Amino acid sequence: MKKNFSVFVDSVGNINYDDMTLSASLKNNGGLIASLFENDAMLRKRECKNIFNKKIHCLLFFMDGMAKSELVDESIAKPVIELPISNFEGDVIDFLAENVLYSGEIKKTADVKELAGALIYGDTLVFAEGSEKALIVNSKGWRTRSIEQPENEKTLRGPKEGFTESLLMNTGLLRRKLRTPDLKFETVTLGSRTNTCVCFCYLNSLVNRDVLRTLKNRINKISIDGILDTNYIDELIRDNQWTPFKTAGVTERPDVAAARLLEGRIAVIADGSPSVMTVPYLFVESLQSGDDYYINYYFSSVGRLLRFISLFITVITPAFYIALVAFHKEMIPTNLALSISEAREGVPFPITVECILMLLVFEILRESGVRMPSNVGAALSTVGAIVIGQAAVDAKFISAPMVIIVSVTGITGIMVSKLKGVVIVYRLALVLLASTLGMYGLIFGVMIMVAHAESLTSFGVRYTSFMSSGRLQEIKDIYIRFPWRFMKTRPFNIAKNIVRKG
């Protein structure tokens, strides 16, 4: 008899599986699954009776679009119907699992919650008359995006593959990079409604046990109805909830994730998201690029130094310019001061308002260029910046030096895109401090920024530990990249085994 679905739902809409049990009646078991997925048009049901043995009477359930129908037909339904055995001993389900079905992965269970989760994820459920258990048969066949190079992490050399939205495919990409039994995968299910499978992986001989224990404890405390991306997890388990700095790394590249695992870090993969989170995360990683390790170390060192310089320029320059022009004109060479004064003649806004408006316009142009289709975005950003900048200067709304300052600030900000949020917040804060206290406000703001970064931790590891380390081995991959033959150790505060080579 078919049960009413409402009896399985509590007052807040959560399904209560505790009262659900399988019976030896095929009709009751089929009614239970049908009631559980009532009004679900994607649920498919198929009845199979063996030609030679009427005792083998089965019901198959699978989800259209999630299961591969060819596998259901050829590996499950056909063997059951055409099995040329007239009699056998024992439980029907045991006999089917051991002697009939062709699938490489079969699990026997009586847990209704486990059966429901497997059905939703693309597996086929097999019920048999006279058995109080069911089989979960692997028949996953849902389509995923093909492996492509990530748009946000393109490299000139090195691998061109990126993670996809499939958890199984992502773990396979990591396994191809690290072909060792030392690579471990552990899974948990998060989200009371999404039931998202989250996997964290690590190299057992390298991982810091304290970091791993902290990560597990924080993940187990997560209570939310849905996890759709690793950023949900990042916000819920990070050390400092209010800092603009990233304390967990994010990458869409398997080679980058593998490199971080080789340093003793832990990767967190969420099903349905191509972004893989890595912890612990240090500040210096925001200024590193995958290309640094695929090109000559001379060129990669120059590129990294440019990123450090660009970070300094994009954060400091607007506030420094305001402090000089508004408070410390005596520090500006006479000819330059006269040029700035002449350019600002007729501009109706104070220099602080002028700077904030230009920074706001630049950020709007950049965001619109990112959100627009690729063939339109680049043209929009370039033409928009040229037209708006030139028109604003000609109309005396903005001075030409301010356009130059904001342009340099914006271009250098693109060099450190991983610190985009931090740069915007602190740039604005320094502009406001410099406009009220001059150079003293700028210096005070920089001191606060540095002190805040120094106070941060990522899963117990100091966020800026590499920057202030006195060990020669630790600074060989910070400001510049030394040749691989000189980098003999892993990060001291992350990996359990710090010896990399030699």
Mean pLDDT confidence for 288-312: 88
pLDDT digits (tens, 9 = 90+) for 25-68: 888 888 888 888 888 888 899 888 877 777 788 899 999 888 88
pLDDT of residue 470: 61
Whether 23 is in a domain gets the answer yes
Same domain, 194 and 130: no
pLDDT band at 502 (very low <50, low <70, confident <90, very high): low
How far is the C-alpha of 148 from the C-alpha of 274, rounded, in Å?
11
Query: Which of 281, 309, 337 represents a domain boundary (last residue)?
Result: 281
Same domain, 20 and 52: yes
Mean pLDDT confidence for 456-479: 77
pLDDT of residue 426: 93
pLDDT of residue 432: 93
Same domain, 129 and 59: yes
Whether 463 is in a domain gets the answer no
pLDDT of residue 5: 47
Same domain, 335 and 448: yes
pLDDT of residue 2: 45
Prior bond of 280 cis (ω within 30°): yes
pLDDT band at 383 (very low <50, low <70, confident <90, very high): low
pLDDT of residue 216: 92
pLDDT of residue 9: 61
pLDDT of residue 61: 92
**In this structure, how many other beta carbons lie within 10 angstroms of the beta carbon of residue 440?**
14
Same domain, 119 and 75: yes
Query: Which of 113, 137, 161 represents a domain boundary (last residue)?
Result: 137
Query: Which of 256, 281, 306 represents a domain boundary (last residue)?
Result: 281
Whether 482 is in a domain gets the answer no
Same domain, 273 and 170: yes
Same domain, 71 and 163: no
Which tokens sit at 419? 């610190």
Helix residue spans in 121-274 (DSSP H): 167-177, 209-220, 230-237, 254-261
Res 181 pLDDT > 80: yes
Strands of the 57-63 sheet, one edge to the other: 43-49, 57-63, 124-128, 134-137, 106-109
pLDDT digits (tens, 9 = 90+) for 310-343: 999 999 999 999 999 888 888 888 888 888 888 8
Whether 473 is in a domain gets the answer no
DSSP string, 72-104: IIIIIIHHHHH---S---S-HHHHHHHHT---S
Res 374 pLDDT > 70: no
pLDDT of residue 369: 72
Whether 224 is in a domain gets the answer yes
> For 4-13, 401-410, 431-440, which range has the lowest pLDDT when averaged over its residues?
4-13
Whether 478 is in a domain gets the answer no
Same domain, 218 and 300: no
pLDDT band at 19 (very low <50, low <70, confident <90, very high): confident
Which tokens sit at 152? 């946000």
Whether 157 is in a domain gets the answer yes
Residue 481 or residue 372, greater confidence: 481
Whether 117 is in a domain gets the answer yes
Domain span at residue 351 reads 295-458
pLDDT digits (tens, 9 = 90+) for 246-274: 889 999 999 999 999 998 899 999 998 99
Q: Which of 138, 137, 106, 114 is nearest to 33 (CA)?
A: 114
Res 298 pLDDT > 70: yes
Res 98 pLDDT > 90: no
Same domain, 330 and 372: yes
Which tokens sit at 13? 């809409």
Mean pLDDT confidence for 339-350: 83
Q: Which of 442, 432, 448, 423 is nearest to 356 (CA)?
A: 432
Q: Which of 70, 90, 74 is nearest to 82 (CA)?
A: 74
Same domain, 314 and 362: yes
Residue 17 or residue 442, greater confidence: 442
pLDDT of residue 201: 93
Same domain, 277 and 301: no
Same domain, 338 and 454: yes
Res 391 pLDDT > 80: no
Domains of the chain: total: 3
Mean pLDDT confidence for 388-406: 81
pLDDT of residue 17: 75
Q: For residue 302, give the amino acid letter.
A: V
> For 8-22, 128-142, 191-205, 324-338, which range has the lowest pLDDT when averaged over its residues?
8-22
For the chain, give the mean pLDDT: 85
Mean pLDDT confidence for 145-156: 82
Res 378 pLDDT > 60: no
Res 116 pLDDT > 50: yes
Mean pLDDT confidence for 19-27: 85
Q: For residue 59, give the amino acid letter.
A: L
Residue 470 or residue 104, greater confidence: 104
